[in-house]
Structure formats: C-alpha cells, structure tokens
Homo-oligomer: A and B are copies of this chain.
Amino acid sequence: VASKSSEETPRLRGILERAAKLICANGYEATSMQQIADACGLTKAGLYHHITTKESLLMAIMTYGMDLFEERVLTPANAVADPMERLKVTMARNLDLVTDETSKSVTIILHEDHSLTGDAQREINARKKKYVRFLEDAFKAAIERGQVREVDPTLAAFSMLGTMLWTYKWYRPGGAMNPEKLSAGMIDMFFRGVLPS
C-alpha cells in the first residue's frame, strides 16, 4: 500500500499516474488490474508488489493527488498573510494545477465520486473539507478588512471552487483557450463580476 504522506517513490508515482489516466478514461469499475499492469509494462504479480488491492490503488492515487494539491496550492497560499492576496494566490495556483497536463488525471480523480469506503473515504473527505474551511476563513478575514463585501463566506468558497474545478470538464490543453488567459480572465470575473463598472 502506498504511504499516506508525500513519500511516493518515482516508480510508484509512475504507476499511479498511468492508473489514474486509465481510470479517468474508462471509469474505476471498468478498469482492471491487468490493464493497469499492461499500461505500466508490469506483470500482474509485479503490480501487486506495489499495490495490494484495487481499492488501495484508488486511495493511493487520491492521496497522491491531495499531496500534489497541498504542495502546489494550499501550502504556498497559506503562507500569504493578506487575505485578499491569499484568495488570489489560491485561485491562480489552483487554476495552474487544473490546466497542467501532467498532474491532470491524479487530481481529477479527487473530484469524481469514486468507490472509496470507510476510513479511506473519511480521510480524503477530511482533506477536502480542510480546503473549504481555508477558503471560508480567507473570505471571512477579507470581509473583516473590508477587502470583500458582505457576502456569505460559504457560498463564496463554493462559487470559487465551482468556477475553478469545473474547468476539468471542458478545458483541453492546446485548444483555443490558453491557460494564462483562462486564469487571468476567471480571477478577474470572480472578483469584479461581469457588470460594467
């Protein structure tokens, strides 16, 4: 079973990334351990050396995705003292992650309602909730300082999350929309709205 912190080895990371791609394309249930082994150039026995069950594989992918997200978004954003600046850094960094082809599959899987159960599900949900609380707290602090008007912090957090994470559903790298334009445009629209000033 993969570790619960960011200690994945490069070999294991490669397996998780390939497995995530297959699961994104074909669904979790429809993807067999044999197909994953084939995609990794491993025998099934070789794959089971790294991963003991299909559910532990899914948990390892989600843990890896969460680690990546925290390393690239939550930790650096948390270090920004000014709440308004913190919200903008969060949005820019999360959009960077969403439009990054390499990390795409492992992070997409976090937002699909896959078949984790019991403790594994609770652990991933707790890490997702931490992000929602982080956003709510940043909005509350920004409202207190008069940087944001009196909106509902929970609704603001979920509006921001929806705007950013829906991008997984439609954005294709190399398409008509370039990632810098997407990020700048979404951040501007989220904060300023769409009405003429």
Contact = CB atoms under 8 A, between A and B. Distances in A.
B115 A185 contact: no
Interface stretch (A10-18, A61-69, A156-164): A156-164
Given A161-B166, A169-B111, A190 B194 contact: yes
B155 A177 contact: yes
A195 B189 contact: no
A28 interface: yes
Contacts of A111: 169
A191 B194 contact: yes
Given A162-B163, A165-B162, A166-B161, A155 B195 contact: no
The 9 A-B pairs at the shortest CB distance, nearest first, are namely A162-B166, A29-B29, A193-B193, A192-B193, A162-B162, A155-B185, A149-B196, A162-B163, A148-B194
Given A148-B195, A193-B195, 15 more contacts: A26-B115, A27-B113, A148-B194, A148-B196, A149-B195, A151-B194, A156-B194, A159-B163, A159-B190, A162-B163, A162-B169, A163-B166, A166-B166, A191-B193, A192-B195
Interface of A: 24, 26-30, 111-115, 132, 139, 146-149, 151-152, 154-156, 158-159, 161-167, 169-170, 176-177, 181-182, 185-186, 188-197
